[in-house]
Amino acid sequence: MGVYAVTGAASGMGRAVAEKLETEGHRVIGVDIQETDIVADLSTAAGRRQAIDAVLEAADGRLDGAVLAAGLGPVRDRSRLPVIAAVNYLGVVDLLEGWRPALAATGAARVVAFGSNSSTTVPVVQNRTVRAFLAGDTERAVRSVRMFGAQAAPFVYAASKIAVSRWVRRHAVRPEWAGTGIRLNVIAPGAILTPLLERQLATPGEAKAVEAFPVPTGSFGKPEHIADWVSMMLSPSAEFLCGSIVFVDGGTDAYVRPNDWPRAVPLRGVVGYLRKFLGFAATRRV
């Protein structure tokens, strides 16, 4: 049985994942802002450093896997935007960078970062916001959405999830990740009955919008559904799963954007495409 770090382990999908892994006999090191093994505020640099160091100590420098489920929803409170940005992006990438040596030490680690189907269903997310996240500048990311005023939260949230997904796809294939046996992937849940969604459904001003959200399967998902998928993505069956984004959203992404992807490489991208093929072949010859 393995040792897994799970952020956001105190509630919602993170808690469901932690409980699933423990039921399977694994040891879980939970990280959250309250009520778990390691209490840390992932919105601050000090809190992220604390989480990194405490997990490494608890795991004795070896992790069989990690699940980055901690995140904050698009609460419409402008004062919360910096916190949403920091937790949702830096709370994933900083911890993964800090834990990478421990993951590599096992030779066959599995990592699942939580994205969201908001990455493909929220319209007009600004590229500059995503670029700011990928540069690690969450303050600039927040400034970039000022034009949206009181409606800025969904754009910060969606951009953070796009950035996490791109970060994973960029890093998953690199020698220091894939080459050391680490399989790094993203799960993108849709409308899941977490405490956040339940509060929204109980708020008349928000319930109507939530209930109008298209879910072709006809009902919201449950945290246990996501936990089952994460368990598979952490298993030996995921040996060939690398840099993938798995949507578990009741068909929302397919309903909203059925023709947007997959897409063939466009003509303007052929040179870069061939360069990557030749570059990969050259590394195999070395």
User: Is-contact 33 50, C-beta < 8 A?
Assistant: no
d(CA 14, CA 8): 5
Tell me how far the alpha carbon of residue 190 is from its chain's centroid.
Answer: 12
276/209: higher pLDDT? 276
Q: What is the mean pLDDT of residues 60-68?
A: 98
CA-to-CA separations, 201 to 72, 78, 143, 193, 194, in angstroms, rounded: 17, 21, 30, 10, 11
What is the model's pLDDT at position 286? 57
Name the band, by pLDDT with cuts 50, 70 and 90, for residue 75. confident
Between residues 133 and 194, the one the model is more confident about: 133
Distance linking the first and last C-alpha atoms of the chain: 36
pLDDT of residue 255: 97
Cα–Cα nearest to 190, from 111, 129, 245: 245
Q: Residue 68's beta-bridge partner residues?
A: 7, 113
Element (H, E) at 248: strand 245-248
Active site residues: 157
Q: Determine the Cα angle at 214 with ends 213 and 218, to 5°.
A: 110
* 199: confidence class by pLDDT, cuts 50, 70, 90: confident
Per-residue model confidence (pLDDT) at position 203: 84
- pTM confidence score: 0.95
Smallest CA-to-CA distance from 162 within 205, 128, 130 is with: 130
Map residue 255 onto helix, strand or coil.
Answer: helix
In this predicted structure, the answer to whether residue 208 has a pLDDT above a threshold of 90 is no
pLDDT score of 200 more than 90? no
**What is the average pLDDT across 241-254?**
98
Is residue 205's pLDDT more than 90? Answer: no
Instruction: Please count the structural domains in the chain.
Output: 1
Give the pLDDT confidence score for residue 77 in this predicted structure: 86
What CATH number does the domain containing 204 carry? 3.40.50.720
The predicted-structure confidence for 139-150, as pLDDT tens digits, reads as follows 999 999 999 998
User: Any bridge partners for residue 31, and if so which?
Assistant: 7, 38
Higher pLDDT: 6 or 200? It is: 6
- pLDDT, one tens digit per residue, over 138-191 is 999 999 999 999 899 999 999 999 999 999 999 999 999 999 999 999 999 999
Neighbours of 252 (CB within 10 A): 21
- The residue segments making up the domain with residue 78 are 3-284
